[in-house]
A = this chain, B = another copy of it.
Amino acid sequence: MSANRLIYLPLGGAGEIGMNCFVYGYGPEDRERLIVVDLGVTFGDMGSTPGVDLIMPDVAWLEERAERIEAIFITHAHEDHIGALGHLWPKLRKRVYARKFTAAIGRLKFEEQGHPQDVIHTVEARPAVIEAGPFRVQFVPLAHSIPESSALIIDTPAGRVLHSGDFKLDPTPVVGEAWDEALFREIAAEAPVKALMCDSTNVFSPLPGRSEASLADPVRELIASAGGLVVATTFASNVARLKTLAEAGRAAGRSVCLLGRAMQRMVKVAGETGVLTGFPPVIPSEQAAEVSRQNLMLIVTGSQGERRAATAQLSRGKYLGLELKEGDLFLFSSKTIPGNEREVLRIMNAFSEMGVDVVDDTGGRYHVSGHANRPDLELMHEIIRPKMLVPMHGEHRHLREHVRLGQTRGIAGEVASNGMMLDLTDEVPVIAEYIESGRLYLDGSVLIGATDGVIRDRIRMALNGHVMVNVILDEADDPLGEAWVEIMGLPEAGKRGRGLAEVMEGELTRFLESAPAKVMRDDDKLDEALRRLVRQAAVEEIGRKPEVTVVVSRLAEG
């Protein structure tokens, strides 16, 4: 019988920022009992995943070992931590643990998906302990940009692991629990921490992080100085920011209205679960248009330029009876996530064309990050004094830099990206195995694998256009009528002005009239020959090689 071991396996969120999913295991090799921490999504883009609605970790490895999974823990309610829960839970079907607000968000997702809501268990923060096989887990409150973000203490027979979740060292987070240094010193003193799995997002930010509370004055001053309609956008789940913004609006004598379903839902759930108190009164969106613009403030979704969110809608013109104009103010109380710049700039310029004054995060007056900066990470290392540091929640460059940062303090570290299983049993992390990890795409209502070729074909059609060839052959394998070509996503005429489809049809017809019988009889050979002709014609006429679909109908077979 083999010895017990403690393993760690990121299936998402390590080597990328998004779709967090981490597995811990304890037991004999290949018989470890497992827990899952977070099931998040990431968002696609037109360049690499056109049409894809959501991206999530491929949990095939877990699915095959479902009987060994003790439980699923969700650290907080950001989509990159909880967004895949409703989609992937049917593959795992295990008990889910989360704190009150997070659990409420999770149950709304389960309600939408038709899953049993009672598998999501609400748990209290430390000192409450959840027993899950060999694991004893405690939720430890930490400040972040959403209420109730929690680190997890994971006590195992091999020692204590601290899984940081997403955090910042904010003593005055406006909403939710403050950074409590004494608590973390107590945790480290109580039992030596074998391994710290740690948020790495801001490892390249050299200055200490700033508190959410530091925004109140600048935001209040900005809004007090505004003459027209004021609109502000931020992340829907940042209810502390929403409160700061709404209070500034009220202080300026404005009626406040929240626009966007995600934002309304977050505020509602945060209120119902008691994590958000004292939120200023808001008016329903139907009433907003009746308030004079100098007395109105809208707080809206869509800070990342999402096409269907309120910000983008307002940039295109009238939305819910509201329309921006000369002298209005639009505040982006947010940062633009890399990859969203084009859309956000497009929107800012659309507002500029309306005469709206756009204020963004330049200078950092109106936004603070929800993640610990480099000096904050160093303080966390110092407080926790872990034997090992395994960075997570970061691109590869973040993880690598974070390992280095730990090494300056003599902490053994390892860059473990998605699919790299670490054995944490001994004094230093050891790479145990490479798991085939991957991504699933939610595409419409279907989950498809990232490597299924579906998206590859879409990208090819987008880059190259698509030509469809139709040929009908009679019983003697002779063409019945002429070849028919339909083109989509290609110029109608080539550089010499000739119709592209007509040129192709001419080439195909000429070929079919004189093609050898052995080609005409053979579906594959004929397909290949027609495809080649079409591509050659396209290269000559328009200088590009399109995707080609050939359909040969043989009436004899009908």
Residues of A within 8 A of B (CB): 15, 45-48, 50-51, 204, 338-339, 341-342, 345, 348-349, 351-353, 358, 362, 395-397, 400, 417, 443-446, 448, 452, 454-455, 457-459, 461-466, 468, 470, 472, 480-482, 484, 486, 488-495, 541-544, 547, 549, 551, 553, 555, 557-558
Residue of A341, A446, A472, A557 ringed by the most chain B CB atoms within 10 A: A446
A–B complex contacts, Cβ < 8 Å, 7 sampled: A338-B345, A349-B396, A446-B495, A446-B543, A454-B490, A461-B488, A468-B486
Closest chain B CB from A161 CB (angstroms):
25
Given contacts A549-B486, A551-B468, contact A454 B348 (CB under 8 A): no
Cβ–Cβ < 8 Å partners of A544 in chain B = 51, 443-445
Cβ–Cβ < 8 Å partners of A48 in chain B = 46, 342
Closest chain B CB from A12 CB (angstroms):
15
Q: Find out whether the CB atom of A491 lies under 8 angstroms from the CB atom of B458.
A: no
Q: Find out whether the CB atom of B353 lies under 8 angstroms from the CB atom of A458.
A: no
Q: Find out whether the CB atom of A395 lies under 8 angstroms from the CB atom of B345.
A: yes
Q: Find out whether the CB atom of A400 lies under 8 angstroms from the CB atom of B488.
A: no
Q: Quick one: which of B46, B458, B490, B541 contacts A489, CB cutoff 8 A?
A: B458
Cβ–Cβ < 8 Å partners of A482 in chain B = 558
SS class of chain A's interface: helix, strand, loop or mixed? Answer: mixed
Q: Quick one: which of B47, B338, B486 contacts A47, CB cutoff 8 A?
A: B47
Cβ–Cβ < 8 Å partners of A543 in chain B = 444-446
Closest chain B CB from A17 CB (angstroms):
10
Q: Quick one: which of B353, B445, B454, B489 contacts A461, CB cutoff 8 A?
A: B489
CA A551 to CA B551, docked complex, whole Å: 11
Q: Quick one: which of B491, B495, B551, B558 contacts A470, CB cutoff 8 A?
A: B551
Residue of B nearest to A471 (CB): B553
Q: Find out whether the CB atom of B481 lies under 8 angstroms from the CB atom of A555.
A: yes
Residue of A348, A362, A417, A481 ringed by the most chain B CB atoms within 10 A: A481
CA A551 to CA B552, docked complex, whole Å: 12
CA A50 to CA B204, docked complex, whole Å: 33
Cβ–Cβ < 8 Å partners of A455 in chain B = 489
Q: Find out whether the CB atom of A558 lies under 8 angstroms from the CB atom of B45.
A: no
Closest chain B CB from A302 CB (angstroms):
17
Closest chain B CB from A50 CB (angstroms):
4
Closest chain B CB from A459 CB (angstroms):
7
* Those 4 A-B pairs whose CB atoms lie nearest each other, nearest first: A445-B543, A444-B543, A481-B558, A444-B544
Given contacts A341-B339, A551-B470, A551-B484, contact A396 B491 (CB under 8 A): no
Q: Find out whether the CB atom of A46 lies under 8 angstroms from the CB atom of B462.
A: yes
Cβ–Cβ < 8 Å partners of A15 in chain B = 349
Q: Quick one: which of B50, B465, B481, B486 contacts A51, CB cutoff 8 A?
A: B465
Closest chain B CB from A4 CB (angstroms):
32
Q: Find out whether the CB atom of A466 lies under 8 angstroms from the CB atom of B461.
A: yes
CA A470 to CA B50, docked complex, whole Å: 26
Closest chain B CB from A457 CB (angstroms):
4
Q: Find out whether the CB atom of B472 lies under 8 angstroms from the CB atom of A553.
A: yes
CA A349 to CA B200, docked complex, whole Å: 14
CA A233 to CA B495, docked complex, whole Å: 36
Closest chain B CB from A222 CB (angstroms):
17
Q: Find out whether the CB atom of B488 lies under 8 angstroms from the CB atom of A457.
A: yes
Cβ–Cβ < 8 Å partners of A341 in chain B = 338-339, 341
Q: Find out whether the CB atom of B400 lies under 8 angstroms from the CB atom of A352.
A: yes
Q: Find out whether the CB atom of A446 lies under 8 angstroms from the CB atom of B553.
A: no
Closest chain B CB from A193 CB (angstroms):
27
CA A204 to CA B543, docked complex, whole Å: 41
Q: Find out whether the CB atom of A489 lies under 8 angstroms from the CB atom of B457.
A: yes
Cβ–Cβ < 8 Å partners of A458 in chain B = 461-463, 465, 488-489
CA A543 to CA B441, docked complex, whole Å: 13
